[in-house]
Structure 1
Amino acid sequence: MEPTVIITGIQALPLRIPFKPGDRVAAPAWGPEDLNVVDSLLVKVTTDQGLEGWGEAFGYRGVPVTQRAIDEVIAPLCIGQDATRIAGLMREVQGQLDVLGRGGPLTHALSAVDIALWDIAGKAASTPLHRLLGGGRTDLVCYASLEAYSDPALVRAAVRRALDDGFGSLKLHEKELPAVRAAREEAGPDVAIMIDVNCAWTVNQARARAAELGEIGLAWLEEPVWPPENYAGLAEVRAAGGIPIAAGENVPTLLEFGRLLDARAVDFVQPSPAKMGGVTELCKVFTLAAIHNVTVMPHSFYDGPGLLAAIHALAVLGSDDSMIEWRYFDLEAQIYGDALAVKHGRVQVPQGPGLGVDPDPDVIHAYLKT
Structure 2
Amino acid sequence: MSESGSRIRSVEVIPVGLRYTHDGPPTGFGGAQWTTLRYALVKVCTDDGLVGWGEAFGYNVLSATVQVIRDTLAPLAVGRDAADIAGLMGSLKHTLHLFGRGGPTQYALGGLDIALWDLAGKRAGTSVAALLGGMRRREIPAYSSLMRMPDPAGVARACEKVLARGFTQVKLHEHTVEAVAAARGAIGEDAELMLDVNCAWTPGEAERIVEQLVPYRLKWVEEPIYPPEDFEALARLRQRVPVPLAAGENLANAWSFKAAIASGALDFLQPSVTKTGGISELRTILTMAEMHGCAVAPHSPYFGPGLLATLQLAAHSPLIGQIESFGVRLETPLFGPVGLPDARGVIHLPDGPGLGADPDPEVIEACRIA
Query: What secondary structure, in the 3-state scheme, does the structure 1 residue paired with 2:321 have?
Result: coil
Cα separation, 2, equivalents of 1:15 and 1:48: 26
Per-residue deviation, residues 35-66 of structure 1 (Å, max 9, x unmatched): 32221111111111111111111111110000
Aligned to 2:30: 30
Aligned to 2:50: 51
Cα deviation for residue 3 of structure 1 reads: 4.4
Cα deviation for residue 2 of structure 1 reads: 4.4
Q: Is the 8 A contact 1:9 1:47 kept in 2?
A: yes
Aligned to 2:9: 8
Distance 1:211 1:26, change over 3 A: farther
Cα deviation for residue 26 of structure 1 reads: 5.8
Aligned to 1:18: 19
Map 1:286-365 → 2, pairs under 5 A: 286-319=286-319, 322-343=321-342, 344-365=344-365
Map 1:205-224 → 2, pairs under 5 A: 205-224=205-224
Cα separation, 1, equivalents of 2:328 and 2:29: 17
Aligned to 1:193: 193
Query: What secondary structure, in the 3-state scheme, does the structure 1 residue paired with 2:330 have?
Result: coil
Q: Is the 8 A contact 1:286 1:318 kept in 2?
A: no
Aligned to 2:271: 271
Cα separation, 1, equivalents of 2:178 and 2:212: 11
Query: What secondary structure, in the 3-state scheme, does the structure 2 residue paired with 1:342 have?
Result: coil
Cα deviation for residue 11 of structure 1 reads: 1.1
Q: Does 1:90 align with 2:89?
A: yes
Cα separation, 2, equivalents of 1:36 and 1:151: 20
Q: Is the 8 A contact 2:26 2:35 kept in 1?
A: no
> What is the identity, as a one-letter code, of the residue corresponding to 1:7?
I
Cα deviation for residue 23 of structure 1 reads: 5.0
Aligned to 1:41: 40
Cα deviation for residue 350 of structure 1 reads: 1.7
Structure 1 length-normalised TM: 0.96
Distance 1:2 1:339, change over 3 A: closer
Aligned to 1:170: 170
Distance 1:170 1:312, change over 3 A: same
Cα deviation for residue 69 of structure 1 reads: 0.4
Cα separation, 2, equivalents of 1:38 and 1:256: 27
Query: What secondary structure, in the 3-state scheme, does the structure 1 residue paired with 2:229 have?
Result: coil
Query: What secondary structure, in the 3-state scheme, does the structure 1 residue paired with 2:329 have?
Result: coil
Query: What secondary structure, in the 3-state scheme, does the structure 2 residue paired with 1:70 have?
Result: helix
Cα separation, 2, equivalents of 1:17 and 1:341: 15
Cα separation, 2, equivalents of 1:18 and 1:339: 17
Query: What secondary structure, in the 3-state scheme, does the structure 2 residue paired with 1:19 have?
Result: strand
Cα separation, 2, equivalents of 1:26 and 1:176: 20
Query: What secondary structure, in the 3-state scheme, does the structure 1 residue paired with 2:184 have?
Result: helix
Q: Does 1:125 align with 2:124?
A: yes
Aligned to 2:156: 156
Cα separation, 1, equivalents of 2:23 and 2:323: 23
Query: What secondary structure, in the 3-state scheme, does the structure 1 residue paired with 2:352 have?
Result: coil
Query: What secondary structure, in the 3-state scheme, does the structure 1 residue paired with 2:171 have?
Result: strand
Structure 1 range deviating more: 58-67 or 161-170:
161-170
Aligned to 2:67: 68
Q: Is the 8 A contact 2:141 2:323 kept in 1?
A: yes
Aligned to 1:134: 133
Cα separation, 2, equivalents of 1:58 and 1:30: 14
Q: Is the 8 A contact 1:251 1:257 kept in 2?
A: yes
Structure 1 range deviating more: 148-157 or 234-243:
148-157
Cα deviation for residue 24 of structure 1 reads: 3.1
Q: Is the 8 A contact 1:107 1:252 kept in 2?
A: yes
Cα deviation for residue 157 of structure 1 reads: 2.1
Cα separation, 2, equivalents of 1:144 and 1:99: 37
Distance 1:341 1:2, change over 3 A: closer
> What is the identity, as a one-letter code, of the residue corresponding to 1:323?
Q
Percent of aligned pairs with the same residue?
Answer: 42
Distance 1:121 1:19, change over 3 A: same
Per-residue deviation, residues 308-338 of structure 1 (Å, max 9, x unmatched): 111111111133x611111121232212122
In structure 2, stretches of 5+ residues that fail to align are none
Structure 2 length-normalised TM: 0.96
Q: What count of residue pairs does the alignment treat as equivalent?
A: 367
Cα separation, 2, equivalents of 1:328 and 1:2: 43
Q: Is the 8 A contact 2:225 2:234 kept in 1?
A: yes
Q: Is the 8 A contact 2:308 2:339 kept in 1?
A: no
> What is the identity, as a one-letter code, of the residue corresponding to 1:103?
G
Query: What secondary structure, in the 3-state scheme, does the structure 1 residue paired with 2:14 have?
Result: strand
Q: Is the 8 A contact 1:150 1:179 kept in 2?
A: no
Distance 1:235 1:26, change over 3 A: farther
Distance 1:11 1:122, change over 3 A: same
Cα separation, 1, equivalents of 2:35 and 2:42: 23
Cα deviation for residue 195 of structure 1 reads: 0.4
In structure 1, stretches of 5+ residues that fail to align are none
Query: What secondary structure, in the 3-state scheme, does the structure 2 residue paired with 1:95 have?
Result: helix
> What is the identity, as a one-letter code, of the residue corresponding to 1:160?
E
> What is the identity, as a one-letter code, of the residue corresponding to 1:157?
R
